Amino acid sequence: MASLSFSIATSAFDPGLVPTEARNPGTPAFREAVNAFLQNEFKEFGGTATIRVDDRNISVVWDPEAKQLNPLVPIVQKLQQGKQAEGIQLLELLLSSRPDDPGVLYNLGVALSDVGRLERAEICLRRAVALNPSDANIRVALGVALGRLDKDEEAGKVLQTAIAQDAKNPWAHRNLAAMLMKAAKPDEAISHYEAATQIQPGDQIAWLGLAEACRLTGRTKAAEDAYRSAIEIDPSSDLAEKARAGSNALAQTGFDNVKNSLPRQDAVQYCLEALQTISKMSATNVQKLALDLAMAGRSGLEVHNPNSRYRVKGLQGEFSGLAMVCFLYVVMQQIAPGADVGMDLSQEYQQAKQLFDRPKS
């Protein structure tokens, strides 16, 4: 295969890719460091590379091996490994020889958008769309970049076009839903979040977005279900923590609306049952119960559904979501008074404690 030539202005090279002491363009140290960087990168592509660095231009002549005819593949792999700066620099270099390659423009635009270089990302992605208007993924990437630039109206139109081209594209649905949420239109966002979760059930971001949209539109049960789905996908992730916080806030809001400043008597009764139960347990078993209850709560509890049923190690029988939270609250007051379990049950707990402490006749 014929050799490939790439060339960029020396001023376009990212000095952050070379050692600190070699970041001054025009110096021998800079030229040597850039040469060493590119030699190392092209070594991964196979073949041989001849590199020339002067004060004005950086040029590379690459003779590829037959097994690696497309340098875009290893560059994209580098981006997937989180090596954004290196990947962007190599894509810029590759673009010099393929200025009309939509694949290069698309990957460069996405990478630039992800690191916040939005104006350059927009230029690349608009060019990619013009070259390959039938690719919905490119339009999605452009829509995301436009949204990040606060060009919301155009972003929405671009994402709608992407969905018209490919109704099964989960990224188009999810990102259009996010734009609708940004425009304070959660009712319209729900159908797109639902489509995204149906097409790609493992999309934790889409489930969390759906939960938020449902919460804002008063769909309490749907919001609880979506929060729980988001948590179950990856319980240890930051998104799961956000889902738990949202679920707890939803539960507290509904709880407050029902009790209207007076203690809820069902919660008082659950707290009393919890006090009676743990009074017969050793301190060690109470601590174990606290851990078991907390772990059960990490997957989400349907506090608003009286028909929900849960089992937990250390307790006999089944319990509703509200009962589980009450038990957790009471147990935590014994171990760490004042601990926050996501719901304020202080009034209910105090009334239950008064009943529990009342002298037995």
Query: pLDDT tens digits, residue range 303-338?
Result: 777 777 888 887 888 888 888 888 889 999 888 888
- Packing angle between helix 102-114 and helix 118-131, nearest 10 degrees? 160
Is 249's pLDDT higher than 70? Answer: yes
Separation of alpha carbons 197 and 206, rounded Å:
6
Beta carbons of 334 and 278 less than 8 angstroms apart: yes
Length of the chain: 361
Is 261's pLDDT higher than 70? Answer: no
CA distances from 211 to 9, 69, 229, 360 (A): 48, 46, 9, 47
Output the pLDDT for position 69: 63
* Mean pLDDT, rounded, of the chain: 88
12 versus 297: the higher-pLDDT residue is: 12
Question: For 277-282, what is the mean pLDDT?
Answer: 89
- Split at pLDDT 50, 70, 90, the class of 190 is very high
Q: Which two tokens stand for residue 262?
A: 């007076």
196 versus 327: the higher-pLDDT residue is: 196
Output the pLDDT for position 136: 97
From the list 328, 319, 304, the residue with the least C-alpha distance to 251 is 304
For 219, which DSSP code? -
Strand partners, 4: 62
Separation of alpha carbons 117 and 129, rounded Å:
18
Question: For 198-223, what is the mean pLDDT?
Answer: 93
- Split at pLDDT 50, 70, 90, the class of 43 is confident
From 106-120, 131-145, 161-175, 225-239, the region with the lowest mean pLDDT: 225-239
Is 250's pLDDT higher than 90? Answer: no
Separation of alpha carbons 337 and 331, rounded Å:
9
Question: For 196-224, what is the mean pLDDT?
Answer: 93
- Split at pLDDT 50, 70, 90, the class of 30 is very high
Question: For 260-273, what is the mean pLDDT?
Answer: 75
Backbone angles phi, psi at 5, to 5 degrees: -115, 135
Output the pLDDT for position 214: 93
- Split at pLDDT 50, 70, 90, the class of 257 is low
- Regarding pTM above 0.85, the answer is no
Backbone angles phi, psi at 280, to 5 degrees: -100, 5
Is 299's pLDDT higher than 90? Answer: no
Q: Which two tokens stand for residue 215?
A: 């919460």
Is 67's pLDDT higher than 60? Answer: no
Q: Which two tokens stand for residue 323?
A: 């009962």
Separation of alpha carbons 92 and 104, rounded Å:
9
Separation of alpha carbons 273 and 277, rounded Å:
6
- Packing angle between helix 186-199 and helix 170-182, nearest 10 degrees? 160
Predicted confidence (pLDDT) per residue in 300-312, tens digit: 777 777 777 888 8
282 versus 361: the higher-pLDDT residue is: 282
Break the chain into its structural domains and give their ranges.
Answer: 265-357
Beta carbons of 193 and 221 less than 8 angstroms apart: no
Is 140's pLDDT higher than 90? Answer: yes
Q: Give the contacts of 161 (CB within 8 A, at least 6 positions apart).
A: 139
| pLDDT more than 70, % of the chain | 93
Output the pLDDT for position 355: 84
